[in-house]
Structure 1
Amino acid sequence: MFISSEDAPPVLKNFTLVMPAVAVGNVGQLAVDLIVSTLNMSRVGYIHTDCLIPMAGNNPYTTCKEDAEVLHTPAEVYTSAELKLAVLQIRAPIIQTKSKKFRQQLVSWIKASGFSRIVVLSSSHAYQRDDQQLQGTPLRYLVTPSLLKMSADALKELGWREMEQLPAFPELTDANAKPWLYIPGAGITKGLYTDSCKEDLPLAVLLLFCSEGDNIPDAFTLVNHLNDWLHLLDNQSQEPNSKWKIPASWNLLFGSGIPPALF
């Protein structure tokens, strides 16, 4: 599944892996863009799979003419050896009938790589929140039992709010009804979290309730939330969003503008 860009495959053991879920507003993917661009991370390989819609394009993190036309693919891996950080960026939708297969491939690669923890950045439909989810912060987290053993104190200190489990049938007042995890619009988030619980993987999900539209502010909110935990960037007195470097690919995030010939 993982194809190295170099002759010798990178050693990722004990690295932290950050990856997005393809979800509403593409918030996780935009947040990952900010991480890769700001930390100037190096591409070390890509994920070869038939589970993603095939695509190719120019370098989304180009800084000069020389590297602008380097070919990039739907799922690539970047690393920062200094921070012991790996990032998997997913740029294409998952083929609906191959969602389970893709999760299995991810879990297999994660186990083989020996990551110390995995963080999935995701989002969920704001309009489908339960009454209790309308109050307070739109940010939520989930953590597997394996990671909770290692990070319980850190998560408690952060004071984050865990994703609520909702009643399966809200209109029924059955005390024996078992609540369930409901994350609409979040793609493979719930499935990957469930798989990781079964496989005893140290995985956390950070998600944001949002709506489709201009989701750049949501991406900044999510990546700053992640930085509070992982400390990827030093906390400075400057405006929080200004410390993140916007990649070149965002110049065309909403298309190329209105042609003057229309007027």
Structure 2
Amino acid sequence: MFISVEDSAPCFKGFTLILPAVSVGNVGQLAVDLIVSTLNLQRVGYFHTDCLIPMVGNNPYSTSSEDSLQLSTNAEVYWCKDLKLAVLQIRSPLIQTKTRSFRKMVVSWIKSSGFAKTVLLSSSHAYQRDDRQILGSPLRYLLTPALREQVTALEQLGWTEMEKISAFPGVMDSDSQRLCIPGGGVTKALYTDCCTEGVSMAVMLLFCSEGDNVPDAIALANHLNDWLHLLDPPAQGSVPWRIPSSWKLLFGSGVPPTIF
């Protein structure tokens, strides 16, 4: 459940919620890091749940030695009241046997908080694309029925809706078409739950491979900004995303010279 760090819980009514799926390359989580760091969002609460692998660490967005001592957990909520924006950052994988409980908790919180819309940032294995998905942009989107009015706006941005693929190779009739998001973690199931519960959700995902996924995260954050206008881009060039201090150790601390 959500626990506020203040005595009174924040009001999220009418806000936009952004959250990541723990998926291939951790692209959604890295994109959320960029949003929280760049917008300097305020931490307002966290989730107390046994559905995620326990984790605690130093402040991943520290800008000085003083605030680096603040502890962070596996699921924290940040916001910007002026932008009416809330972000749920998830930092550890789901426990497999408790995936359904986690989805139920998230959907219940979204509905009870009164969010205007929710955006799930995710990714999918590039090597499992079908022929139609190989060419063009690696970005795909999905909209629940409650948010279908955004279709025109997303099409004007040049985005492509996630294609359904045939459950049986060579059979192209509509009855055999199904949504497939390999490597997407909880993405498909959470999207399906939101469709059933009438939640206004958009899924944004990129096809990618494991490795250095920082460029993928920046690309996904740029696409999100094109739609939601969280930051005003400069006249020329890309959005100046602020790299979090925790990314200094994204690939470890390097090889100790004493081993040579």
TM-score range, shorter chain: over 0.9
Q: Which residue number in structure 2 is paired with residue 98 of structure 1?
A: 98
**Which SS does the other structure have where 1:76 is aligned?**
strand
Kept in 1: contact 2:127–2:209 (CA 8 A): yes
Kept in 1: contact 2:125–2:183 (CA 8 A): yes
Q: Which residue number in structure 2 is paired with residue 113 of structure 1?
A: 113
User: Distance in 2 between the 1:68 and 1:18 partners?
Assistant: 24
Per-residue CA shift, 1:201-258, capped at 9, x if unaligned? 10000000000000000000000000000000002124315x1000000000000011
Kept in 2: contact 1:168–1:177 (CA 8 A): no
Q: CA deviation at 1:261?
A: 1.0
User: Distance in 1 between the 2:175 and 2:4 partners?
Assistant: 48
Kept in 2: contact 1:142–1:205 (CA 8 A): yes
Point out 4+ residue stretches in structure 1 off by more than 2 angstroms: 173-178
What is the TM-score normalised by the length of structure 2? 0.98
Kept in 1: contact 2:166–2:172 (CA 8 A): no
Q: Which residue number in structure 2 is paired with residue 159 of structure 1?
A: 158
**Which SS does the other structure have where 1:65 is aligned?**
coil
User: Distance in 2 between the 1:157 and 1:254 partners?
Assistant: 37
**Which SS does the other structure have where 1:109 is aligned?**
helix
In terms of fraction of residues, the more strand-rich structure is 2
What is the TM-score normalised by the length of structure 1? 0.97
**Does 2:72 match 1:72?**
yes
User: Distance in 2 between the 1:74 and 1:126 partners?
Assistant: 27
Instruction: Figure out how many residues of one structure are paired with residues of the other and give that number.
Output: 260
**Which SS does the other structure have where 1:119 is aligned?**
strand
User: Distance in 1 between the 2:83 and 2:252 partners?
Assistant: 34
Within a 5 Å distance, the mapping from 1:13-32 to structure 2 comes to: 13-32=13-32
Kept in 2: contact 1:20–1:88 (CA 8 A): yes
Q: Which amino acid aligns with 2:157?
A: L
Of 162, 183, 186, the match for 1:185: 183
Q: Which residue number in structure 1 is paired with residue 213 of structure 2?
A: 215
**Which SS does the other structure have where 1:154 is aligned?**
helix
Q: Which amino acid aligns with 2:127?
A: Y
User: Distance in 1 between the 2:115 and 2:90 partners?
Assistant: 18
**Which SS does the other structure have where 2:181 is aligned?**
coil
Q: Any gaps of 5 or more consecutive residues in structure 2?
A: none
Q: Which amino acid aligns with 1:146?
A: A
Q: CA deviation at 1:154?
A: 1.6
Of 246, 249, 259, the match for 1:249: 246
Sequence identity percentage: 65
User: Distance in 1 between the 2:190 and 2:173 partners?
Assistant: 29
User: Distance in 2 between the 1:70 and 1:176 partners?
Assistant: 52
Per-residue CA shift, 1:139-182, capped at 9, x if unaligned? 10000110113x233223212100000000114x3636420000
**Which SS does the other structure have where 2:218 is aligned?**
helix
Q: CA deviation at 1:85?
A: 0.2
Q: Which amino acid aligns with 1:96?
A: Q
User: Distance in 2 between the 1:100 and 1:237 partners?
Assistant: 45
Q: CA deviation at 1:260?
A: 0.6
Kept in 2: contact 1:196–1:202 (CA 8 A): yes
User: Distance in 1 between the 2:207 and 2:174 partners?
Assistant: 29
Kept in 1: contact 2:140–2:204 (CA 8 A): yes
Q: CA deviation at 1:99?
A: 0.7
Kept in 1: contact 2:124–2:182 (CA 8 A): yes
